[in-house]
Amino acid sequence: MVMLLLASVALVTASASLGAALIAEQMTSAIPIIGEFIQLSLSHNRGIAFSIALPSPLQEILVAGALIAVCFIAVKTKLTKFLSVAFGFIIGGAVGNLVNRALIGAVTDFISVGSFPVFNLADAAITIGAGLLLAESFLKKKG
């Protein structure tokens, strides 16, 4: 299961990093997908979730601490295929955002849905991974 975890991390990291780089390089104006409700709209986020900016080094410490905590939990968990993918999405998304931040000093966000804050593929992967972990938890309690 560790190989599936690592493959998920690599796939998500590569997709998120490549997606952000292509968007940042190519996008010159917003691109409507479903009118103005869903569109591609370039934004650079120097903060953390929902563009919340915390003073340095607190922001860096929180991000690194969260990533380390998730990695620690993943290593200590008896991984199934489902959990391997879930943790892979979370870790890959976090690493993708860290790569983006290391390269340009900010995270490239580009997916806009309604009034929700603009996000990127890495953020979506983190959210999907967290949702999968919650689903696993609920399914375990029912069974």
**Does 75 qualify as catalytic in the annotation?**
no
Angle at 111 between CA 107 and CA 112, to 5 degrees: 120
Q: Which of 87, 109, 125, 133 is catalytic?
A: 109
Q: Which of 70, 98, 123, 126 is catalytic?
A: 123
State the residue for tokens 């976090």: 94
Question: Residue 53 CB: number of other CB atoms within 10 A?
Answer: 10
Task: Read off the DSSP letter of residue 119.
Answer: B
**Does 123 qualify as catalytic in the annotation?**
yes
Active site residues: 109, 123
